Chain A
Amino acid sequence: MKILCVAEKPSISKAVAKILSGESTRTRKTRAKYIMNYDFKFNFPQYGLCDVTMTSVVGHITNIDFPPEYSWGKCPPGRLLEAPTLEVVSQQDVFKNIANEARTANILMIWTDCDREGEFIGWEILQAARSTNTNLTSENVLRSQFSHLERNHILHAAKNPISLDLNAVKAVSCRMELDLRVGASFTRLLTDLFRKSSVANTSMDKDKKSNVISYGTCQFPTLGFIVDRYLRVKSFISEKFWYISVDIKMENDGEVQLVPFTWTRGHFFDRLFVTLIYQDCIANPFGKITKVIRKPTSNWRPLPLTTVELQKDCARIFKMSAKDALDAAEKLYNKGFISYPRTETDQFPQAMDLKELIGKQSQDTRWGSYCSELLHEDKYRTPRGGKNDDKAHPPIHPVNYVNLSALDNDKLKKVYEYVVRRFLACCSDDAKGELNTVTLQWGKEEFTATGLAVIAKNYLNIYPYKKWESSKQLPNFIEGESRSITGGKMKEGKTSPPNHMTEPELIGLMDANGIGTDATIAEHIFKITNRGYVVKTKQRGTEYILPSELGMGLIQGFDRIEFENISLSKPFLRKRLENSLQEIVDGRTTKEQVLREVIQLYRQAFVQSAQKGNILLQAYKDIIDSNNNP
């Protein structure tokens, strides 16, 4: 019996073949660049000893497009919302290699990444195989489930395959069709509109890196977040607020210490209210210590690592873009050093042997001794569990040890070290401290002072990316005692302007609002940067993302068009689509139904955009004018 195994990337195919064959493969070159076919034997429990050919694709091998009569300039852009589509083989050599190998195969086993996109690529592989062997069907195709390249995990995946998830295939197909129709129609509309306009033509070159103004259902909401923040910063007006603060003079170890107390009510944007309260307080020269509480406190170790957290932290700690962080993580995964880096899961499966993974890190000179402490000095703790489980992949964690000096570049080193330290922190105890809180009543108002003493740093010893330090210690207050108020003041403050958008914040917003997935968020940010819709700028060591004139003009233009109940620059429509795609996966709705509903919404928006193109151009012109004449 012959089994054809196909992975999503050449590196995965090579690694899996090495494990399944026990490092005994016959390698054949193919006509497709980078792709090799590996022949070996493997004992599958359900089929016995089989001849296996392991090969791979390089991402998608087919695509959808419009027929030639719908190419740019040959039809009005709006027609693309309902034009027929064609399936096109985009990687001919890869397609042919699978078709050739499938001729003599009895079974097809898919080894693509275990996510929605991987499921769809599996379906594309099946179509290539079926072009020469119709005995291979969606009913008998096998799908291996794996999330990293650790030997036992791969062997288990080979011996326990499941079926291809056809609902996930339909969801991706739906998303691809919508992205094509909406993206192509709006991109052609916008590009033609701006190309014809003299205003846009003369000023566009400095903003844009190509002459195409692309529209994407994720790109524009992503840009919208940045424009909204930019406008918030620009239109900010500082507001006054008022609050009461109290100081009490105390002797502490022979020294006089001024202890500041904070009003438990915070501050208010109403002077009269604070004045009335303050007036009531100052009638009392003394305050009373009503509570002195010393209690243990903890600084929690981090949750297991998700893709979004990895991207946010790499941007915050290493100033690395989301794309660079994900690219580095992908490379580390392909080399077998870390688990699959696209995951929403923030809880480890109970059965997973985490101590074994810690053991593999014991040889490192930087964190090896910490690993030994975890394993041999009873310091290991079961990681905390978050609320998210994508049911496909565990949190990102190190799978195999590699010495940092053996990694190719600085980004790989930083990301690997971060993944390892984060994992070790997850398996450590929370940091422990003691919090001393003293409550003072002055008049009818309550004020508190706190002092923190860090007792055991625990996970912080291995996780330098977070700080938790002891504060100045409070003197000994006694519950019930009266204390003279040294300084009780009504103070005035001012609100400060918000900062422009940072990449970690943008990733957080996209994630919370359902714009893109853990796997695509980095791509969307990269795309709007590459299109010249935004620019990155550094201020006092922090990198901010600001809209360009073109980016501002496009968002403000779409906002000026009065669409009915939808917005092309806000996240709601895309979020609704993401929810609908999940419903397709869950079998609660169909691809056809979702296509019908969503295209109807975009059609209305398209008609209005086409009719009111001058509004879009005017918005862009206004931005240029206001920048030229501030």
Chain B
Amino acid sequence: MSFSPENYLQTSQSYTQSAMTFTVMGIIDIANSKLSQIDKWKDYEDPHKASVDRLNKGRNHIIRELKDDNDDNGTAIIPTGNTLYKLTLKDSEDNYCYGYEYMDKLPFLRKTQKPAGDSGSSPLPIPLGSRIRIEKGTLIMNGVLMLTRVQCSYLGLSDHDKELYQKLNSDIAKKNIQYLTGELKSQK
């Protein structure tokens, strides 16, 4: 089943007619400034090059060193602060749309899901290229999907998406820093 947002642009409220699967192509935290997100990416890329002039930076370092050894899925759970995510989604027919966390927070975006062996804690809560499922009856506002915890679930990485996963996630810190810096400069 596909989803063409342009069909809903003029409709302030409608609902999906069936369940759909999307690939997550982009994630951005809209509750935090781009500057603070650039900080997080720099810290992730190399803590020795990140700014250390803010108190929460020191705290982040301490928190990041704590790992949940009991988690047998190879997934470390790292607490996150106040965030609200906007997802760029692609359906099976390569239609792109946005999805926002809406009335509640999506649990799968509240812990860091990393493949086993990855010791860093990425600012992204889920790897790009992951799939999510959106249930029938999800609110659409002017072509944008409004995601809630009962209507949206995390499916993880599909074997079919390995190439896409590699492409999207390689050098991700550099790409995000470039993207966010570009966005910032463009609004100067």
Contact = CB atoms under 8 A, between A and B. Distances in A.
Interface of A: 221, 224-226, 228-229, 231-232, 236-237, 239-241, 265-266, 268-270, 272-273, 276, 279-280, 444, 495, 501, 508-509, 512-513, 559, 563, 565-567, 570-572
A272 B12 CA distance: 13
A232 B86 contact: no
B52 A224 contact: yes
B33 interface: yes
For the complex of A and B, the 8 pairs showing the least CB-CB separation, nearest first, are A270-B30, A567-B48, A228-B53, A229-B53, A228-B51, A512-B58, A276-B141, A513-B58
Interface of B: 12-13, 30-35, 47-49, 51-55, 58-59, 61, 82, 84, 86, 98, 100, 103, 141-142, 144, 146, 184-185, 187-188
Contacts of B86: 270, 273
Contacts of A226: 53
Nearest to A559: B49
A269 B49 contact: no
Given A266-B31, A276-B144, A280-B141, A239 B48 contact: no
Contacts of B58: 509, 512-513, 571
Contacts of A268: 30-31, 84
Given A444-B103, A567-B48, A269 B144 contact: no
17 contacts: A226-B53, A237-B185, A239-B184, A239-B187, A266-B82, A269-B32, A269-B34, A272-B98, A272-B144, A276-B144, A279-B12, A280-B12, A495-B33, A513-B52, A565-B48, A570-B52, A572-B47
Given A225-B53, A239-B184, 10 more contacts: A225-B52, A231-B51, A237-B185, A239-B187, A268-B84, A276-B141, A276-B144, A509-B52, A509-B53, A512-B58
A407 B35 CA distance: 49
Contacts, number: 85
Contact of B33 (A269, A444, A565, A566): A269
Nearest to B184: A237
Contacts of B52: 221, 224-225, 228, 509, 513, 570-571
Contacts of A229: 51, 53
A29 to B, nearest CB: 50
Contact of B48 (A266, A272, A276, A566): A566
Nearest to B84: A268
A69 B142 CA distance: 80
Given A239-B34, A269-B33, A570 B48 contact: yes
B30 A269 contact: yes
A532 B12 CA distance: 62
A268 B84 CA distance: 9
Contacts of A276: 100, 141-142, 144, 146
Nearest to B61: A572
A268 B48 CA distance: 30
A416 B31 CA distance: 45
B92 to A, nearest CB: 25
A268 B102 CA distance: 13
Contacts of A279: 12, 141-142
A236 B35 contact: yes
Contacts of A501: 53
